[in-house]
Chains A and B, each alone.
Chain A
Amino acid sequence: MDLLLQQTVNAFALGGTYALLALGLAVVFSIMGLINFAHGELMTISGYTLMYCGIAGISFLLAVPVAIAVAMIAAVLMERIAFRPVRNSSAATMLVTSFAVSMILQVLFQNFISTRSQPVILPQVLSDSITLGGLVIGLNKIAAIVATVVMLVFLDIFMKRQKTGIAMRAAAEDFNVARLMGIRANTVIAGAFALSGMLAGVAAVLWVSQRSSVDPHMGFLPVVKAFIAAILGGLGSLRGAVAGGFLLGFIEIYLAAFLPPEMQEFREPIGLSIVVVVLLFRPNGLIPAASLKSEKV
């Protein structure tokens, strides 16, 4: 029983990180129909910011908001430089553009920072753990869960109460009608990118606090996971992204925890098969986007 509870805490922490990542993709997709594969590089940029802050002797508490802010700025710049010129092109053009941005950034990191992993100095407290009712919980797990909850609450308020948030929801439902109502396309799209940058920044801090290092390819794996989570939840739906992220986290942790040892090698294919089975029954994802209607992705 204890073991199950312990693994559930693990699943919440991992699922929360996946949810943040998937949300970052979903925010942009819901408005532009773009799956931004360079989202992972925003995380890498945050990671390098943490690294440089550590080298400069800036305390981690201060480095975290700086890293998140840098990811937001980078996301807005990415939109300005790479995605605005192709905004009205086909989905395929935008997808390929995002791959190009991702690769260009990776090569820049390799050539101007280092091909090797760079250590990130983290406060000791993140490696500690506390005992809570018989459960041993790492503080970085608690940080992940708290960060996820805070971000979800913030997003909920932002989307419901803030003017930009409401405009973004309107644009997600029908961009053309939203524009006719006087909503500025540039503001909404830049806002969506800034939001996705913020989510990437928070996720990057959580990601880096586990791995303690940053390398040019750091963003690749999380963006793949986020993509799976976003599809699982329903592409373009924000609630779906959160649901998909948590479900993916639970699938991965429970398989790693409870699959018999001789089956462990096949953990990933089994996990992905479960995702496929879910999609067979819910082809538009767990919580499909409103704009999707009955159309299949």
Chain B
Amino acid sequence: MKKTLLASTMVAAAALAAPAIAETLKIGLATAQTGGLAGYDGPVIEGLHIAVDEINAAGGINGNIMIELIEKDVRSDPAQTAIAVQELADEGVSVIVLPCDADPSLAAIGTVSSAQIPAISTCASSPTLPMIGGDFMFANFPGDNVQATVSAEWAWGEGHKSAYIIYSPDSQYTTMPLYFADVFTALGGEMLGEDTHSIGQQDFSAIATRIAALDPQPDVIMTSSYEPDFPSMLKALRAAGVTAQMIGSDGIDSPTTFSLGDVGEGVVFTTAGHATEGSPLAEFNAKYEAATGNPSETVFNAVGYDLVIVVAEAVKAAGGSTDPVAIRNAMAELENVRGATSLITYKGTNGMPVREVTLIRVNGGERELVGQPSPTAELIPAPRMQ
């Protein structure tokens, strides 16, 4: 017995000694594998795995730092997120990945700040997250205020003069229409009113009937509600006879939006990217199909890929260090990192990256690129807590 113990200790020691040449970067994933956010975190994590496999197959970051993932399910629950993040911090990870919503991600602030480990949310887009989250909190998606500025400027440019917003106070993300209203008013547009709903609300007929009774009718209706609310809302509005231009956001970048038939036609929404021929996103989609056997259904796959690219670039910029603080400092200075969806810049921001925003229109059940305009910087509203 003693001999076996001794032998195994020696083997272990040898194994430990070996990685002195090939280092390991531990990334802890505290994301939602189950629960309401799983539909968003799931695709991001798929894309993240593709990037990690690609980097590790090439010998690691800088050719010698292999990436190791430690995955925990937070069940879309803030309390569970806080626990998982604590466990990951105890395991000594260098980077933590948080769920796709600002609210559970915010639950991790205490741990990531005191343990001084940089944390990135998979796809939360509320600009309040890094604002409240402090130096170690980063986002990985175009901000809500930036998306709303892009869509408001587009609507104004199309000659729409009046708007109506429908939002939900239930989460940071679903209050994006308030940013839209700010920008649209600043441009000279008129807000005809607003309605609120709760997330998961099945019935929008009361709201639709009220909007249909408005005279004059609004030119555009903006919402950042997503499935299952968005299709119900859109159908209720159209059934009530409302013909206003609908504007949505990245949450509806999903197959359902394109399968709504006539009702969905003409809907315009902002999202993280568009795969034009030969673009990095098209290249990523090819990789995704090769790796999984299925075509990528959503841009969130590529967003996950980008997350690993950002971390890898930060490690490179930190001179190959796996020290969390060094990675954090390097990440905050990253500029024009080429991701699959966009060029990504953290330099000069508080952790909310500058990324391209893409406008997509539903046309014949297919995605049509409307444009990838840069928003006017002065118009972008300051982040605010709802």
Q: Does A27 contact B (CB under 8 A)?
A: no
**Quick check: A212 and B260 within 8 Å, CB to CB?**
yes
**Quick check: B240 and A138 within 8 Å, CB to CB?**
yes
> With a CB–CB cut-off of 8 A, which chain B residues contact A110?
33-34, 38
**Quick check: A261 and B194 within 8 Å, CB to CB?**
yes
Contacting residues of chain B (32-86) with chain A, CB-CB under 8 angstroms:
33-36, 38-39, 42-43
Whole-angstrom distance between the alpha carbons of A179 and B202 in the complex? 41
Q: Does A215 contact B (CB under 8 A)?
A: yes
Contacting residues of chain B (253-304) with chain A, CB-CB under 8 angstroms:
254-256, 258-263, 297-298
Q: Does A118 contact B (CB under 8 A)?
A: yes
> With a CB–CB cut-off of 8 A, which chain B residues contact A117?
39, 227-228, 254, 256
**Quick check: A6 and B209 within 8 Å, CB to CB?**
yes
Q: Does A181 contact B (CB under 8 A)?
A: no
**Quick check: B231 and A256 within 8 Å, CB to CB?**
no
**Quick check: B228 and A218 within 8 Å, CB to CB?**
yes
Interface centre among A10, A207, A252 (most CB of B within 10 A): A10
**Quick check: B239 and A127 within 8 Å, CB to CB?**
yes
Interface size on A, residues (CB 8 A): 48
Contacting residues of chain A (254-297) with chain B, CB-CB under 8 angstroms:
254, 256-257, 261, 264-265, 267-268
Give a binary string over A103-138; 1 marks a CB under 8 Å from any B CB, 0 the rest: 000110010000111111110100111000000101
Whole-angstrom distance between the alpha carbons of A53 and B231 in the complex? 20
Q: Residue of B at shortest CB range from A218?
A: B228
Q: Given A115-B39, A116-B42, A253-B206, decide whether A136 and B212 contact each other with a Cβ distance below 8 A.
A: yes
Q: Given A14-B205, A115-B38, A121-B259, decide whether A129 and B239 contact each other with a Cβ distance below 8 A.
A: yes
Q: Given A117-B228, A140-B239, decide whether A14 and B198 contact each other with a Cβ distance below 8 A.
A: no
Q: Residue of B at shortest CB range from A141?
A: B205
Q: Does B236 contact A (CB under 8 A)?
A: yes
Q: Does A13 contact B (CB under 8 A)?
A: yes
**Quick check: A268 and B198 within 8 Å, CB to CB?**
yes
Q: Does A162 contact B (CB under 8 A)?
A: no
> With a CB–CB cut-off of 8 A, which chain B residues contact A116?
39, 42-43, 254, 297-298
Interface size on B, residues (CB 8 A): 45
Whole-angstrom distance between the alpha carbons of A147 and B232 in the complex? 19
Contacting residues of chain A (64-122) with chain B, CB-CB under 8 angstroms:
106-107, 110, 115-122
Q: Does B213 contact A (CB under 8 A)?
A: yes
Q: Given A212-B259, A261-B193, decide whether A253 and B205 contact each other with a Cβ distance below 8 A.
A: yes
Q: Does B316 contact A (CB under 8 A)?
A: no
Whole-angstrom distance between the alpha carbons of A207 and B228 in the complex? 10
Q: Does B319 contact A (CB under 8 A)?
A: no
Whole-angstrom distance between the alpha carbons of A17 and B195 in the complex? 24
> With a CB–CB cut-off of 8 A, which chain B residues contact A221?
200, 202
Whole-angstrom distance between the alpha carbons of A253 and B34 in the complex? 32
Q: Does B347 contact A (CB under 8 A)?
A: no
Interface centre among A13, A128, A256, A265 (most CB of B within 10 A): A256
Shortest Cβ gap from A30 to chain B (Å):
26
**Quick check: B206 and A257 within 8 Å, CB to CB?**
yes
Q: Residue of B at shortest CB range from A259?
A: B206
B213, B259, B262: which contacts A3 (Cβ < 8 A)? Answer: B213
Q: Does B373 contact A (CB under 8 A)?
A: no
Q: Does A59 contact B (CB under 8 A)?
A: no
**Quick check: B255 and A138 within 8 Å, CB to CB?**
no
Give a binary string over B294-320; 1 marks a CB under 8 Å from any A CB, 0 the rest: 000110000000000000000000000
Interface centre among B207, B210, B241 (most CB of A within 10 A): B210
A3, A207, A215: which contacts B202 (Cβ < 8 A)? Answer: A207
Shortest Cβ gap from A174 to chain B (Å):
37
Q: Does A213 contact B (CB under 8 A)?
A: yes
Q: Residue of A at shortest CB range from B43?
A: A116
**Quick check: B255 and A118 within 8 Å, CB to CB?**
yes
**Quick check: A128 and B239 within 8 Å, CB to CB?**
yes
Shortest Cβ gap from B299 to chain A (Å):
13
> With a CB–CB cut-off of 8 A, which chain B residues contact A106?
34
Contacting residues of chain B (206-244) with chain A, CB-CB under 8 angstroms:
206-207, 209-210, 212-213, 227-228, 231-232, 235-236, 238-241
> With a CB–CB cut-off of 8 A, which chain B residues contact A7?
205-206, 209
Q: Does B203 contact A (CB under 8 A)?
A: yes
Q: Does A161 contact B (CB under 8 A)?
A: no
Shortest Cβ gap from B168 to chain A (Å):
10
Whole-angstrom distance between the alpha carbons of A118 and B298 in the complex? 12
Q: Does B169 contact A (CB under 8 A)?
A: yes
Shortest Cβ gap from A41 to chain B (Å):
14
Q: Residue of A at shortest CB range from B261?
A: A124
Whole-angstrom distance between the alpha carbons of A209 and B337 in the complex? 43
Q: Does A222 contact B (CB under 8 A)?
A: yes
Shortest Cβ gap from A199 to chain B (Å):
17
Give a binary string over B16-40; 1 marks a CB under 8 Å from any A CB, 0 the rest: 0000000000000000011110110
Q: Does B336 contact A (CB under 8 A)?
A: no
Contacting residues of chain B (120-165) with chain A, CB-CB under 8 angstroms:
none
> With a CB–CB cut-off of 8 A, which chain B residues contact A211?
202, 227-228, 231-232
Q: Does B374 contact A (CB under 8 A)?
A: no
Q: Residue of A at shortest CB range from B239?
A: A138
Q: Does A210 contact B (CB under 8 A)?
A: yes
Contacting residues of chain B (88-127) with chain A, CB-CB under 8 angstroms:
none
> With a CB–CB cut-off of 8 A, which chain A residues contact B262?
124, 127
Shortest Cβ gap from A7 to chain B (Å):
6
Whole-angstrom distance between the alpha carbons of A221 and B42 in the complex? 22
Whole-angstrom distance between the alpha carbons of A216 and B240 in the complex? 29
**Quick check: B232 and A210 within 8 Å, CB to CB?**
yes
Q: Does B349 contact A (CB under 8 A)?
A: no
List 15 contacting pairs A-B, 8 Å CB cutoff, sorted by A.
Answer: A110-B34, A116-B39, A117-B256, A124-B262, A129-B239, A141-B205, A141-B239, A210-B236, A212-B260, A217-B35, A221-B202, A254-B206, A256-B203, A261-B193, A267-B198
The 4 A-B residue pairs whose C-beta atoms are closest, nearest first, are A138-B239, A256-B206, A10-B205, A211-B228
4 extra interface residue pairs, beta carbon distance < 8 Å, beyond A212-B231, A215-B227: A3-B209, A13-B205, A252-B206, A268-B198
A interface with B by C-beta (< 8 Å): 3, 6-7, 10, 13-14, 17, 106-107, 110, 115-122, 124, 127-129, 136, 138-141, 207, 210-213, 215-218, 221-222, 252-254, 256-257, 261, 264-265, 267-268
